[in-house]
Amino acid sequence: MDLQLAGRVVIITGGASGIGRATADDFQREGARLVLADLQPAALATAVAELRAAGGEVESEAVDVRDYAACERLVARAVDVFRRVDVLVNSAGIGGVPALFTESKPSDWGDLIAINLLGVLHCCRAVVDRMIAQRSGRIINLASEAGKGNEKRIVVYGATKGGVISLTRGLAVELGRYGITVNAVCPGVTRTPMTSYITDEMEREWARMYPLGRLGRVDDIAPLIAAKMLTPLGKPAANAPKHFAAVEIVDRAVNAEWLSRATRILAKYWLTKNARRRLAHSLNCSKNSVSTS
Ligand SMILES: NC(=O)c1ccc[n+]([C@@H]2O[C@H](COP(=O)([O-])OP(=O)(O)OC[C@H]3O[C@@H](n4cnc5c(N)ncnc54)[C@H](O)[C@@H]3O)[C@@H](O)[C@H]2O)c1
């Protein structure tokens, strides 16, 4: 199926890892030109090298999405190199440390809110003027199943993702008239570096709750993101409703009951040394790689 992506310019935040990285592969296969943004310069350089080796036109920018000026520089870079921005995929995010709200402190929440919620707002704000001027654009935000039915131990993470769903809906209504659609994808638990704390034992128990009998893979999610391009880019039809907007939240056959069971399993295994060691490692990787772009 032709997604009409050949030559399109696609910015992917969090593009060095996990879902963002897999999405870069999918868009590149469709002929898009990419600008990857991430906090981890080394992982970013590897991703760019791999994509270029596969024949892609790829640029990158070390960006901390918490910093609005850096997000503006990212968009300016894409425009400077490729003269336009057709698609923004907001995949940069963190999972944080699961904990009961009563055990958490406000100082634990800052990065979750600043990256998962403010970071998405920053990138959307930085890109919309350009898309409005083009009268065309696609914004695709990585929300989460957790943003639709929050649960114990992930209250703050879920709140950030609920915020992403809400901002997606609001932006879609505001921007539809300019030929810009805004969508969110809501994955369930997906194996990526973010979920590297999941032990084999934990995965076996968790996977039983999934209709497919396994956790999600990036290859399940990335095609959903590319599929958000199916509405051809361009000006809205002359007879389009004034508030034309496309908001589509993709479920992975998961509901509130599932989430409740999932967080019980999380709690059961949470205190295992192995799971904590893996999570500490993945959090440290992120912290140590903060860059000043
Ligand atoms: N993996 C899951 O189970 C799952 C489920 C639902 C939603 N999501 C969401 O999908 C998105 C991608 O997650 P993933 O699983 O691919 O994780 P990941 O850790 O593999 O990738 C996230 C990327 O974001 C980057 N990043 C983190 N903070 C950043 C910052 N301040 N500025 C710029 N980049 C930053 C990281 O360096 C990393 O490369 C996230 O928004 C996440 O919340 C993931």
Encode pLDDT of 201-240 as tens digits. 889 988 888 778 888 889 888 888 887 666 655 544 444 3
Active site residue ranges: 157
Ligand 1 pocket residue status of 91, Cβ below 6 Å: yes
- Structure tokens, 108: 């634990």
Please report, for the domain that includes residue 263, its CATH number: 3.40.50.720
Assigned domain for 158 exists: yes
Of 78, 91, 102, the C-alpha closest to 221 is 91
Q: Has residue 238 been placed in a domain?
A: yes
Number of domains within the chain: 1
> pLDDT tens for residues 130-155?
999 999 999 999 999 899 877 788 99
| Region 196-205 average pLDDT | 89
Which of 192, 214, 263 gets mutated to test ligand 1 (max ligand atoms within 8 A of its CB)? 192
Residue 162 belongs to some domain of the structure: yes
Compute the mean pLDDT over every residue in the chain, rounded to the nearest whole number: 84
**Of 167, 126, 124, whose CA–CA distance to 143 is shortest?**
167
| Beta strand spans in the chain (E) | 9-13, 33-38, 58-62, 87-90, 137-142, 180-185, 249-250
Cα 21 to Cα 2, 55, 89, 211, 245: the distances in Å are 21, 16, 11, 25, 27
- In ligand 1, the atom with minimum distance to the C-alpha of 161 is 43
Which structural domain range is residue 175 located in? 9-288
Of 72, 36, 43, the residue nearest 57 (C-alpha): 36
For ligand 1, pick from 26, 194, 203, 283 the residue to mutate: most ligand atoms within 8 Å of CB: 194
In a domain, 171, yes or no: yes
* Cβ of 165 below 6 Å from ligand 1: no
**Is 4 part of any domain?**
no
Average pLDDT estimate for 48-57: 97
Q: Is residue 114 part of a domain?
A: yes
- In a domain? residue 76: yes
The 10s digit of each residue's pLDDT in 4-23 is 789 999 999 999 999 999 99
Residue at 293 is within a domain: no
Q: Tell me the whole-structure pTM to 2 decimals.
A: 0.87
